[in-house]
Amino acid sequence: MQQLRPVFTLLALLGGLSAFAQSDTINLSLEQLIRIAQSDAPDVQIAKTALNNNYWRYQSFLADYKPQIDLSATLPDFNRAIDAITQPDGSEIFKERTLMRNNVGISIRQDVALTGGTIFARTDIARLDIFASSGNDRSISYLTTPISIGFLQPVFGFNNLRWAKRIQPLVYDEAQRVYSEDMEFVAFETAQLFFEILIAQYNLEAASRDKADADTLYQIAEGRFGVGRIAETELLQFELNARNADAELAQRTLDLQTSTEQLRDFLGIRSATYFQMDIPDELPIFGINPDTALAYAREYRSESVTFKRRLLEARRNLAQAKGETGLNVDIFASFGLQQTAPTLSDAYTSPLDNERITIGLDVPIADWGKTRARREIAQSNLELTQRRVAQDRVQFEREVLIKVQQFDLIRDQVDIARRALDIAQKKRELNRNRYLVGKVGVTDLNVAISEEINARRNYVNSLRDFWLAYYELRLLTLFDFQENRPLIRSVEGRN
């Protein structure tokens, strides 16, 4: 069923099943094919899955900055064994005993990105059952902690929370832009495959027409040779043209089959579907200012976020190297209320204070240069990243400017190629008619045929160059200059 989804989408976009039922071939424009590809192509599904993965990674990151509430319990912990029991005088004896512990606790913890510390609060209740054995009576006792609050604060250490709060939003923003770029790259690849089929169809039609002309001219030449009006070498030339036309027709048929299979694979279609491409000879009319295009690229492309992320990550690594190799001080403090009693109600009566303060120190004394080396490596990596980012930014901006400057030239080439094709077609038809009445020779006719074939090929290639440049420019700027809107996309409405 999954394999048929692109076909159903294709039919829905084209208006239903009736048209498909009448023919094995579907007429498609470039815009229709791109909509189909961006809807169901395997590459699109991969891009959506990747963005969805990054979305949940970002949600997991956001959850790190919200209070974490946990329930912990041991119900029960039963133990029957011979243990060493400490006596009132400090001595120990081995005695058999049977006991069961049960405890339940609820805690809430909040990480603080500003300081890198953690604050917490907790409440607990524990019950201890010692069963009767060896002459001892059964006893029950409770230990309660109605409330306990505290904090853990590193003083000079690396604050990963603060750096993650700066970097992770960039990572997700970058992922969203990459998804938009993936969609535009699918459009670009679709345009390439569209023109592969279009050119193959155009060449096949031309080969069929050339074969018909070659066969007709060969038959005429045979008649003229039979009455002695042309030499045998001229007849052989027409026969050679006819055989070459057969070979060309076979090759162009194979080219169309190959390009069709490539498009079906790209769309994920396994059924026998064939395409008839409509030539996109109506070009969009709009102007592009290089500075405006560069501004859009800086605003919408993932590179603008990637550069910031790379620099921040390098600075984070330097801060981590400094924070983890110098003096580390951890301060832990907690305050709570506790009580123990043989009954649950008494265990909550007149609770006693429970305070704890700990200061931990970690001071490197001698590491034989390892600390300095780690810091110097991180500093060097930061400087290297800064230089590479600067170079990558220049290359990125240069590529955008060059593509914009080339775009108008490519558009002009289409107009020139269209005019050249009109001239070549008229010239071929005139020479063909003049040959039929004997006013030109076979050489002039062959020259006119070759010129028309080249002009036709140049025109279709110029159309392909224009549309590929158009979709490449959309990819480079993530902006639709024809509709005057950005091309930032999201999956299932997620921003």
Backbone angles phi, psi at 403, to 5 degrees: -65, -40
Amino acid in the structure at residue 330 = D
Q: Are 222 and 239 in contact (CB under 8 A)?
A: no
Write out pLDDT tens, residues 210-229: 888 888 888 888 888 888 87
Tell me, what's the pLDDT at 134?
61
Tokens standing for residue 103: 């405890």
Name the strand (E) or helix (H) holding 203: helix 160-226
Q: What average pLDDT does this structure show over 310-316?
A: 94
With tokens 């998804």, the residue in question is 179
pLDDT grade for 190, boundaries at 50, 70 and 90: very high
pLDDT tens for 38-51 read 988 899 999 999 99
pLDDT at residue 5, as a whole number? 55
Structure tokens at 356: 């704890």
Q: What is the mean pLDDT of residues 467-481?
A: 93
Nearest partner of 491 among 1, 39, 130, judged by Cα:
39
Going by C-alpha positions, the residue among 388, 338, 310 that lies closest to residue 142 is: 338
Residue 331 has pLDDT above 70, yes or no: yes
Residue holding tokens 């069709």? Answer: 260
State the Cα–Cα distance between residues 234 and 440, nearest whole angstrom.
13
Pairing of strands 92-112, 352-362: unpaired
Please report, in angstroms and rounded to a whole number, the separation of the first and last CA atoms in the chain.
Answer: 30
The predicted-structure confidence for 237-249, as pLDDT tens digits, reads as follows 888 988 998 998 9
Contact present, 330 and 154 (Cβ < 8 Å): yes
Q: What percent of the chain has pLDDT over 90?
A: 42
Q: Residue 21 pLDDT more than 70?
A: no
Residue that the structure tokens 């890198």 belong to: 116
- Determine the CATH number of domain 2-59+165-309+385-486: 1.20.1600.10
- Give the domain ranges of the chain: 2-59+165-309+385-486, 69-112+117-157+328-363
Q: What local confidence, expressed as pLDDT, does residue 491 receive?
A: 63
b or e along 260-269 (b: 16 or more beta carbons within 10 Å of the residue's beta carbon)? beebbebbbb
Average model confidence (pLDDT) across the chain: 86
